[in-house]
Structure 1
Amino acid sequence: MLVYTPHITPRISYIIQLLNERWQIDVAVTDDLTLFQQSNDVKLVYAEERIDDSSLFLQSTGLLLQHDIRKQYITCFNWEDGKAFFQTTDDVGFDIFSAIFYLITRYEEYLEYEPDEYGRYAHWNSLAWKEGFLHQPIIDVWLMKFEAKLKQRYSLLTTHHSPFTFLPTYDIDIAWSYKHKGLLKTVGAVVMHPSTIAKRLRVLSGKETDPFDSYDWLQQLHEQYALQPIYFFLLAERNNEYDKNISPRKTALQQLIRSTAAKATVAIHPSTESAVNPTALKKEKEILQTIVRKPIPLTRNHYIQFHLPHSYRSLIVNGFTDEYSMGYGTVNGFRASTSHSFLWYDLEKEETTALRVHPFAYMDANSFYELHHSTEEALEEIKKLCSEVQAVNGTFITIFHNHMLGTDPMFKGWKEMYENFVATVISTKERSVEQ
């Protein structure tokens, strides 16, 4: 496919690259009108005005021609049973390229906003939340419908898509509830919670499994359903209000990491301190690499604590290639409005980077702590989000925590809820493949 546009900008090139990746075809862009008119390829015009009637016309509203970051005045309207913005009078009805760019680059996160209690970009600032499409990977929906319009005009156009994928991931913030805490912490916990003495003694003597220990059960679940999970380990050297992990110097934690790495992918879960201290990020990565004796290119920030563009730039400087924090730590849904991974575009530098962003759509902590869902309500939400991703052949990434899948009475039923979901999504996927 050949796209003509009068001015090729880094923003336009980024969208063309995205089309290449999503449709797995060769999409080229040119500003040479003569070359474009002579081409026999599937042709698309992206400009302010229509050039001819033979090419599909997308009207540019100007965002991709800009070279700065400014407040965008956006009005949503109903389009094909959904929402869209940057309305036009072209062959599609809105500037789909600009709309995708605005959402996937997280353009609004570069503007002034009201942070949440942790200083993060709050979901209530986002267009997706305000307009009611946060629970839909709307970019993926748009692209499917846009593709259908192209094929309606150009019957010979052939595209390819990766199949739906379920990717379970786990944040190991506190590896154990009672074990390996050290004498002082154990004594302090007993004083604060004397009712736990008997259970604590049974766990410490090896007569009972630690309430946060769900590792063997998870391994059996992954083997049963042929899953390939990712475990993100918090390895903060200093504890604070939010970083309460067991010391990475503890032999037990190192053994847990090594045994996990032998069966699954392990990654770093940078501490909240690392969000403001680049030295801490570097050190934590080095610790994990030393433990597993191999490079660690994957990361997801603790408490989903990141700010654009500085946090992502820090990841690049420290050699990370894949980032899994793109989601909210308050509600579930699609922060970047897509269920597919994508290369991060640095808006301030106006360049496509090599950092690949993997958006997650569901986190158990959001359901439990923020939304106060019952296990039944949580199961309903996770299934609904998953069905949205299945419909667009995306990747459904979930975040669960080891402590919520253990035996702590506080999280009764969550282990069963998760197993129910996994069984459902795998059986649905298998039926889809058979069809």
Structure 2
Amino acid sequence: MRILFYCQQTSARLSYILDFLGKQINADFVITSDEAFFTGTNTVRINYSSAALHANELHVQPHSLLFERSITPQKTDCFVWNNLTAFFKTGGDIPFDVFAASFYLLSRYEEYMPHEKDMYGRYAHTNSLAYKENFLQQPLINLWIQQLQQLLEEKFTSFHHYKNQFTFLPTYDIDIAYQYHHHPWWKSLLGFVNDTRKKPSQWLARATVLARVKKDPFNTFDWLHALHRQCQPKPVYFFLVAEKRGLYDKNLSPHNTAMQLLIKEHYEKYTTGIHPSWQSGDDENILKEEISILENICGKNVTVSRQHYIRMNLPETYRRLLSNGITKDYSMGYGSINGFRASVASSFFWYDLSKEQPTTLEIFPFCYMEANSFFEQHLTATQAAEELQQYAAIVKKVNGLLITIFHNHFITTQQEWLPWRNMYADFVKSICGDQ
């Protein structure tokens, strides 16, 4: 599908957002500043200028954002359009600049402005427009795109409504592969001492696992393999391979034989990526070392990542990943609340606002992490199941990409976690049955 797009000037920002939108509706935007050519060509047309040019066009009056070359505070007064939140009010057939508003959200423009950090030094979700205006739980850009397609269909009989395919992509962060097995002897001994003093009931659990009478509780990998075989999704695993333990990095040593075998097993079956440690956020050399460690274990280049604790800051984190060979990142979401951080349920390429250029780093946004439901939102497994189903429903509505995060230690058979394990199994079976 070809869409003729008239504008009096162009920019890297405009080209970027049209490229994204074109992929979403399976269309090629042909930009022209020739008014006679635009009005004289009988095709699907969008006029992106202040004045109407033709009776048969979709007219969108532009906001200034896409033609600016600086990062400055923007007025984002919100209003309701077709039951959806909108901002950057202008005029024409659509009462706001859907292209500029989409760019604002997708580029994470607001994260480049001065803002408060949360307790982990991350961009606090409470700063975001989506949170303040209550659309964090919506893939708003995808919903806008649906409305745009509908308007084009009404204007042009030659325009065919394109539907993406709904996709469920389960992902897993392996922060601590085993609770008791394969740890250094001194750590196991210290664990027994602490159990005796603080958790006597856990002493027996540790002993039976180390004696190989029972399976390690965190070893849920075979269970996940069976679940995947039954439902046939294409999961992605992220391994934490910090060499030095820290306050937030408590993984097994990447030089541990059992750990290396586990990583190799997953690399052979699934997409496997790096889970850059908390420490690597302070030192790019550590990031390089961790990627190198994972590459040596796998025997191949590592190009996929997700930040541990979702510790990221723009543009520094993404630039570091790019300079270290990462081409796909799954960190776009909040580690403090579930929702659509970039207001989208589709992958997209990161636009480096500071350099005013698109990049080759493809971003895969997640909207749900079980740790947010439990630790931050204080939900029960039953309530979390309802929340997860709500996200699935809205992503299905836009035929988008549903990415979830679970941890191996959250889906164990231990009494306190068994409801979460059952909830997740039921969800995966139901969602895969609908695809």
Q: TM-score, normalised by structure 1?
A: 0.97
Q: 1:21 aligns with which of 18, 23, 26?
A: 23
Gaps in structure 1 of 5+ consecutive residues: 430-435
Instruction: Encode CA deviations 1:114-147: one digit per residue, 9 max, x unaligned.
Output: 1100000011100000000000101000000111
Matches within 5 A, 1:187-226: 187-194=189-196, 195=200, 196-226=202-232
**2:310/2:333 contact within 8 Å kept:** yes
1:292 and 2:298 matched: yes
Return the offset for 1:3.
Answer: 0.3
Structure-2 residue corresponding to 1:115: 117
What is the DSSP-based 3-state SS (H/G/I as helix, E as strand, rest coil) of the residue aligned with 2:399?
coil
In structure 2, distance between residues paired with 1:403 and 1:239? 18
**1:234/1:270 contact within 8 Å kept:** yes
Instruction: Encode CA deviations 1:370-419: one digit per residue, 9 max, x unaligned.
Output: 11110100000000001000000101000000001112333231100001
Matches within 5 A, 1:102-141: 102-141=104-143
Structure-2 residue corresponding to 1:144: 146
What is the DSSP-based 3-state SS (H/G/I as helix, E as strand, rest coil) of the residue aligned with 2:313?
coil
What is the DSSP-based 3-state SS (H/G/I as helix, E as strand, rest coil) of the residue aligned with 1:167?
strand
Q: 2:378 aligns with which of 372, 380, 383?
A: 372
1:381 and 2:387 matched: yes
Structure-1 residue corresponding to 2:97: 95
1:355 and 2:357 matched: no
1:254 and 2:224 matched: no
What is the DSSP-based 3-state SS (H/G/I as helix, E as strand, rest coil) of the residue aligned with 1:88?
coil
Return the offset for 1:54.
Answer: 2.5
In structure 1, distance between residues paired with 2:23 and 2:405? 25
What is the DSSP-based 3-state SS (H/G/I as helix, E as strand, rest coil) of the residue aligned with 1:355?
strand
Structure-1 residue corresponding to 2:79: 77
In structure 2, distance between residues paired with 1:191 and 1:158? 68
In structure 2, distance between residues paired with 1:81 and 1:19? 21
In structure 2, distance between residues paired with 1:98 and 1:383? 31
In structure 1, distance between residues paired with 2:282 and 2:38? 49
1:344 and 2:346 matched: no
**1:123/1:129 contact within 8 Å kept:** yes
Instruction: Encode CA deviations 1:283-308: one digit per residue, 9 max, x unaligned.
Output: 11111111111111110000000000
Return the offset for 1:16.
Answer: 1.2
Matches within 5 A, 1:39-54: 39-54=41-56
Instruction: Encode CA deviations 1:63-112: one digit per residue, 9 max, x unaligned.
Output: 11111000011111011012111112210111101110110100000001
Structure-2 residue corresponding to 1:411: 417
Look up the equivalent residue of 1:232 and give its one-letter code.
F
Q: Percent of aligned positions with the same letter in both sequences?
A: 43
Matches within 5 A, 1:304-315: 304-315=310-321
In structure 2, distance between residues paired with 1:214 and 1:406? 6
Look up the equivalent residue of 2:251 and give its one-letter code.
N
Give me the CA root mean square deviation.
Answer: 1.1
In structure 1, distance between residues paired with 2:84 and 2:242? 44
After TM superposition, the structure 1 stretch with the greater mean CA deviation from structure 2, 155-164 or 246-255, is 155-164
Structure-1 residue corresponding to 2:184: 182
After TM superposition, the structure 1 stretch with the greater mean CA deviation from structure 2, 243-252 or 37-46, is 37-46
In structure 2, distance between residues paired with 1:65 and 1:49? 17
What is the DSSP-based 3-state SS (H/G/I as helix, E as strand, rest coil) of the residue aligned with 1:43?
strand
Structure-2 residue corresponding to 1:162: 164
**2:231/2:433 contact within 8 Å kept:** no
1:302 and 2:308 matched: yes
Return the offset for 1:184.
Answer: 1.5
Look up the equivalent residue of 2:360 and give its one-letter code.
A
**1:76/1:85 contact within 8 Å kept:** yes
**2:136/2:341 contact within 8 Å kept:** yes
In structure 2, distance between residues paired with 1:339 and 1:111? 24
Q: TM-score, normalised by structure 2?
A: 0.97
**1:25/1:159 contact within 8 Å kept:** no
Instruction: Encode CA deviations 1:301-354: one digit per residue, 9 max, x unaligned.
Output: 000000001110111111111010000001111000000000100111111111
In structure 2, distance between residues paired with 1:178 and 1:130? 43
**1:24/1:159 contact within 8 Å kept:** no
Structure-1 residue corresponding to 2:36: 34
Matches within 5 A, 1:385-404: 385-404=391-410
Return the offset for 1:159.
Answer: 4.4
Look up the equivalent residue of 1:400 and give its one-letter code.
F
In structure 1, distance between residues paired with 2:423 and 2:393? 17
Count of aligned pairs between the two proteins: 429
**1:48/1:61 contact within 8 Å kept:** no
In structure 1, distance between residues paired with 2:195 and 2:133? 45
1:422 and 2:424 matched: no
**2:39/2:54 contact within 8 Å kept:** no
What is the DSSP-based 3-state SS (H/G/I as helix, E as strand, rest coil) of the residue aligned with 1:47?
coil
In structure 1, distance between residues paired with 2:54 and 2:36? 13
**2:75/2:88 contact within 8 Å kept:** no
Look up the equivalent residue of 2:71 and give its one-letter code.
I
| Runs of 4+ off more than 3 Å | none
1:229 and 2:229 matched: no
Look up the equivalent residue of 1:14 and give its one-letter code.
Y
In structure 1, distance between residues paired with 2:248 and 2:26? 42
What is the DSSP-based 3-state SS (H/G/I as helix, E as strand, rest coil) of the residue aligned with 1:415?
helix
In structure 2, distance between residues paired with 1:427 and 1:188? 46
After TM superposition, the structure 1 stretch with the greater mean CA deviation from structure 2, 79-88 or 162-171, is 79-88
